Amino acid sequence: MHAAEGGHAAVARLLLDCGAPWNVLSPSGLSAGDLASDDTYDLLLDHALRSELILGTVARRQNSDGPPAENYLESRVSFSEERVMDAESKAVMMAWERPLMEAHARAVCQGGKVLNIGFGMDLVDEAIQRYEPEEHTIVEAHPEVYARMLKLGWGEKKNVRIVFGRWQDVMPQLESYDGIFFDTYGEYYEDMRPGGIYSYFNGLCGDNAFFHVVYCQLVAMELANLGYSTQFIPLPVKDCVTE
Ligand SMILES: C[S@@+](CC[C@H](N)C(=O)[O-])C[C@H]1O[C@@H](n2cnc3c(N)ncnc32)[C@H](O)[C@@H]1O
């Protein structure tokens, strides 16, 4: 951190090459990248991206035996006004994300058929409904979230089609769409038809400015490998947090 802050690029490079982690946080939650000078910022960003690309590839290979969310789908979830929590009290979805979900709905609702994967707290689905799509398909895999969808009346909406199951398993029941929003839990990117719009919530490290830059660029690079171009839409986080 001192090397980054002081602009000592050669020292910072040596430390990183010797295995110093790029993502250690100070007691106040700052990383070397948050403190970096113009001379060390790009160095740290480049190192962080390379590390995460390699670690991501290794993790995906290790997980190829089974989907990471399998246990989550078999465990209990709890609901409150503010959040949906998994059995380990980790937040699956939180109410403060509403403005983000509204922005995603705006991006994917350009007319025609819309697909949302992951119902959560129904924030994005409520927003999608306001655009009155021709058809609004929702895929949800958790039995308790699915039961809550029905209780809230989502099964009776005229333009809504609910598909219960993991998106990986129900793909044959899906069609092609004009807009897809994908926001599951503990999963990864998806495909869609050429020319369509793909919007997703990138919640990786939103509470550390440098980490967020790293993961935004990482996602853009990985999507570029799949043939996608990426556009990030900045939103005023302060408004989300104070909601
Ligand atoms: C982060 S929440 C979605 C929040 C939602 N976007 C909203 O606005 O409230 C993730 C949801 O995806 C569901 N989910 C997790 N894995 C899934 C899978 N493989 N297929 C379909 N749904 C899945 C979870 O049960 C949960 O309801």
Contact 22, 48 (CB under 8 A): yes
Do residues 78 and 132 both lie within one domain? yes
Total number of residues shown for the chain: 243
Do residues 75 and 192 both lie within one domain? yes
Tell me how many degrees the CA angle 97-103-104 measures, rounded to the nearest 5.
Answer: 90
Do residues 93 and 155 both lie within one domain? yes
Do residues 52 and 150 both lie within one domain? no
Whether residue 190 is predicted with pLDDT greater than 50 in this model: the reply is no
Is 211 a member of any domain? no
Q: Work out which ligand 1 atom sits closest to the CA atom of 170.
A: 20
Do residues 53 and 170 both lie within one domain? no
List the domain range (segments joined by +) for residue 81.
Answer: 70-201
Is 28 a member of any domain? yes
Whether residue 201 is predicted with pLDDT greater than 90 in this model: the reply is no
Is 233 a member of any domain? no
Number of domains in the chain: 2
CA atoms of 123 and 93, how far apart (whole Å): 9
Distances (CA, A) of 146 to 64, 151, 185: 26, 9, 15
Cα–Cα nearest to 89, from 75, 100, 102: 75
SS3 115: strand
The percent of residues above 70 in pLDDT, for the chain, comes to 85
CA of 52 to the centre of ligand 1 (A): 24
The residue type of 212 is H
Is 148 a member of any domain? yes
- Mean pLDDT across the stretch 57-77? 69
- Mean pLDDT across the stretch 1-19? 95
- CATH number, position 161: 3.40.50.150
Distances (CA, A) of 181 to 51, 122, 198, 239: 28, 13, 6, 22
**pLDDT tens, position by position, 155-189:** 999 999 999 999 989 999 999 999 999 999 866 55
Our mutation pick for probing the ligand 1 site, out of 93, 144, 171, 199, counting the most ligand atoms within 8 A of Cβ, is: 93
Is 104 a member of any domain? yes
Do residues 140 and 156 both lie within one domain? yes
Do residues 55 and 85 both lie within one domain? no
Q: Work out which ligand 1 atom sits closest to the CA atom of 201.
A: 6
Tell me how many degrees the CA angle 44-235-77 measures, rounded to the nearest 5.
Answer: 90
The residue type of 198 is Y
CA of 185 to the centre of ligand 1 (A): 6
H and E: helices and strands count for the chain: 11, 8
Cα–Cα nearest to 96, from 86, 109, 81: 81
Q: Residue 148: phi, psi to the nearest 5?
A: -70, -35
Do residues 75 and 160 both lie within one domain? yes
**pLDDT tens, position by position, 91-122:** 899 999 999 999 999 999 999 999 999 999 99
Whether residue 242 is predicted with pLDDT greater than 70 in this model: the reply is no
CA of 73 to the centre of ligand 1 (A): 10
Do residues 185 and 96 both lie within one domain? yes
Do residues 84 and 53 both lie within one domain? no
Do residues 138 and 102 both lie within one domain? yes
Is 173 a member of any domain? yes
- Mean pLDDT across the stretch 212-224? 88
Do residues 161 and 181 both lie within one domain? yes
- CATH number, position 9: 1.25.40
Contact 99, 243 (CB under 8 A): yes
Contact 123, 93 (CB under 8 A): yes
Is 216 a member of any domain? no
The residue type of 186 is G
Whether residue 224 is predicted with pLDDT greater than 50 in this model: the reply is yes
| pLDDT at site 79 | 95
The residue type of 39 is D
